[in-house]
Structures are given as C-alpha cells and as structure tokens.
Chain A
Amino acid sequence: SQKIEQNSEALNIQEGKTATLTCNYTNYSPAYLQWYRQDPGRGPVFLLLIRENEKEKRKERLKVTFDTTLKQSLFHITASQPADSATYLCALDMSLIKAAGNKLTFGGGTRVLVKP
C-alpha cells in the first residue's frame, strides 16, 4: 500500500543551525509534493509546493528538494530561529485516479524544536 514516512522523533536543533527533515514515500510516483507547518492547536499552514520536474524550490530560509528516484523529499530550514519551532508535514496527492479534487495524503509530521 502507499505510504508516506516522516521521522516521528522530534528534531532538537540549536538556533542558527540548519534543520533537515525527510519525507519518504513508497509505491507511488506523485506529480508534486507539498510541505506544511502546524503550530499546537492550529491548522496546518502551506509553505512550499514542488513538482516532479523541479529538483529544488526555495522560499526565504526554506529549501525543499524532490528526488523521484529515491522517492524522497528533503526540507531544510537554514539559520533556524526559535520561532521556527513547530511540526512540519509533507503531503502528496496519492489518489490513483486524478480528479479535480487535489486529494492529499499527509505524513505524520516531524516536530522541530529550535533552542536559543
């Protein structure tokens, strides 16, 4: 069955360092992948979308890579700050039949804690 895996262990990182999160998937070839941020008690907030023909996407201090051969996406937060502390979710459209619905399947998320 299709599966999306993110490291369930929290990532503790010192302020100023780069945080790197992984998202692995199996048994599917998605056309795109999305990353979201979720703060406690809030809904996820969209960060970045990367398509299968894009190797890398950047937005301010965030960088996402997408390796369709390895079936993996990496999410980097450079020069991390305590305000970056949150849970980060990856999501793929894993529906077998592509409707207009943009139906996403989410990974379990990785919690990031940036220490001052």
Chain B
Amino acid sequence: DVKVTQSSRYLVKRTGEKVFLECVQDMDHENMFWYRQDPGLGLRLIYFSYDVKMKEKGDIPEGYSVSREKKERFSLILESASTNQTSMYLCASSFQGIQPQHFGDGTRLSIL
C-alpha cells in the first residue's frame, strides 16, 4: 500500500515564524502536491512538483515556497507565518499521467 507520511498531525506556531511541513512518500512517485483545506473553500492546490528540484505554482502559492531535493520528500515552507495560514495542510503523491493521487492524513496548523 502507498504510504504518504506527513511529519506532524498538529502544529502550533507564532506569527512571523518560518514553518516547515514535511511529506514523505514510499512509492517512488514522480509527482508530489501540497494542498490546504478550509471549510467552505475545499481543497486548494498550493504547489506541486513533477520531478526532483522541479516545482510549479498551484492556485494559491502566495506566502509559501517548496523544496524537493529528493524524490520521496516534498517540503512546504511558510516563509513568515500569518494567521490566515491557519488551515489543514494535505500532501499527496502520484505517478505521472492520468493517475490517482494518494494523500497523507494532513497537518492541522494553527498560527497564533
């Protein structure tokens, strides 16, 4: 079974802090994704990567950056956390092409 592991289930940080969310997948997937999920707004794509060191902006990249130095690991970085970045963050991975995405169980991030 595909396993997508997110480093924390719950995280509390302060405004202005630099925050790192880590995601690791064990299925040799080329593609990795970061989403945030908010009530009433659904799942929104922040960034995705289709290869090591490659990244593309999703629908809401502002305030975020990503890093993919190894195929199995995709990091989401909040450069200077703000309260409007309080959300559930979900990581996913997939093979290239028309393939299902496999999700982690999310990190609930609170910015105080």
Contact = CB atoms under 8 A, between A and B. Distances in A.
Co-complex (A, B): yes
Interface of A: 31-32, 34, 41-46, 49, 51, 89, 93, 99-109
Interface string B72-112: 00000000000000000010101011111111111000000
Contact of A102 (B4, B31, B40): B31
Contacts, number: 66
Of the listed residues B58, B59, B103, the one surrounded by the most CB atoms of chain A closer than 10 A to its CB is B103
Nearest 8 CB-CB pairs, A to B? A43-B103, A46-B100, A108-B42, A106-B43, A101-B50, A100-B96, A100-B50, A43-B105
Contacts of B41: 108
Contact of B105 (A41, A89, A100): A41
B60 to A, nearest CB: 12
Given A43-B90, A43-B92, A102 B106 contact: no
A44 B92 CA distance: 9
A39 to B, nearest CB: 10
Given A99-B56, A102-B94, A108-B42, 17 more contacts: A31-B98, A32-B98, A34-B100, A42-B106, A43-B92, A43-B104, A43-B106, A44-B90, A93-B98, A100-B30, A101-B50, A101-B96, A103-B58, A104-B101, A107-B42, A108-B40, A109-B42
Interface of A is mostly: loop
Contact of A49 (B31, B58, B98, B103): B98
Interface residues of B, number: 30
